[in-house]
Structure 1
Amino acid sequence: AVTPMSADQLALFKSSWNTVKHNEVDILYAVFKANPDIQAKFPQFAGKDLDSIKDSADFAVHSGRIVGFFSEVIGLIGNPENRPALKTLIDGLASSHKARGIEKAQFEEFRASLVDYLSHHLDWNDTMKSTWDLALNNMFFYILHALEVAQ
């Protein structure tokens, strides 16, 4: 189920994301480092040494796509008029990932690695943690539901 965020939580969520969203390469690196099974799902990165590809153009481009998706979703959250756009984005993500055999477990691993990254790069305290937990619970509720029903 989805729990609405307060205005303060929403503001903290968005402002804190804005402080890390330009660290695309570092975020994806952290996810891949913690989850080689996720890296293995990307044909252009599968079987390659993570440190040797981290500074490549391909890695930068793909990092930008992944983090950019989150930035787009986060930018739309909080305005009820944006719900159709959010649904379109999330349904597209679910459909494309299901077609590539990405399962719920990988999304959950991604989430855990993202939280770990954030906890080391934001002013992480109880308020920040609870805000991100709530926001990601809401986001992943929709993402995992869309993954479940995707064709």
Structure 2
Amino acid sequence: MKFIVLALCFAAASALTADQISTVQASFDQVKGDSVGILYAVFKADPSIQAKFSQFAGKDLDSIKGSAEFASHAGKIVGFFSKIVGDLPNISGDVDTFVASHKPRGATHDQLNNFRSAFVSYMKAHTDFAGSESAWGATLDAFFGAVFAKM
């Protein structure tokens, strides 16, 4: 059964149209330089995600937002997300990398859904998201569907 779900998720990713991919990449280009803002929005929306990172667990989010350590980690997270967006529609390797690093840490489906929701909220506030919402929906459905099938 997992194989069928996984196959459907990869089929969905490869079914992304060139226009959807271009739209997602162009809208992400508008914000990918604000890695601190993106990670801040995610941690603010769901503090349980922040708690998964030992270097940030239990710390006041506003006080760590300006730190070099926070900026460095935000850069890594958004950098990986940039790789996923840049690799579209070929996400299978990115899914495997993501699952290999997040499954052992106990990342839950709820936390990943909350990450998605916070990211979409950030995009709505910082881009003309209305023009890219359906493309992002298809992209995020494909990626997180594939991740959930393996976690």
Q: TM-score with structure 1 length normalisation?
A: 0.87
Q: Which structure 1 residue ranges, 4+ long, deviate > 2 Å from structure 2?
A: 86-89
Alignment partner of 2:23: what SS?
A: helix
Q: In the aligned structure 2, how far is the partner of 1:120 from the partner of 1:60?
A: 20
Superposed CA deviations along residues 33-71 of structure 1, whole A, max 9, x for unmatched, are 010111011100000000000010110111011111110
Q: Which runs of 5+ in 1 are unaligned?
A: none
Larger RCO (alpha carbons 8 Å, 6+ apart)? 2
Against the structure 1 CA distance between its residues 8 and 87, is the aligned structure 2 distance closer, same or farther, given a 3 Å change threshold? closer
**1:49 counterpart residue number:** 60
Alignment length (residue pairs): 140
Q: Pick which of 41-50 and 95-104 moved more.
A: 95-104
Q: In the aligned structure 2, how far is the partner of 1:15 from the partner of 1:45?
A: 31
Does residue 1:121 correspond to 2:112, yes or no? no
1:27 positional shift: 0.1
> What do you get for the CA RMSD once the two structures are aligned?
1.3
Q: In the aligned structure 2, how far is the partner of 1:12 from the partner of 1:77?
A: 11
The residue type paired with residue 15 of structure 1 is: A
Does residue 1:63 correspond to 2:83, yes or no? no
**2:43 counterpart residue number:** 32
The residue type paired with residue 66 of structure 1 is: I
Does residue 1:135 correspond to 2:139, yes or no? yes
1:92 positional shift: 2.1
Does residue 1:96 correspond to 2:101, yes or no? yes
1:124 positional shift: 2.1
Q: In the aligned structure 2, how far is the partner of 1:72 from the partner of 1:10?
A: 13
Does residue 1:9 correspond to 2:16, yes or no? no
Q: Which runs of 5+ in 2 are unaligned?
A: 1-7
Q: TM-score with structure 2 length normalisation?
A: 0.87
Q: In the aligned structure 2, how far is the partner of 1:116 from the partner of 1:140?
A: 17
- Aligned-residue sequence identity (percent) comes to 44
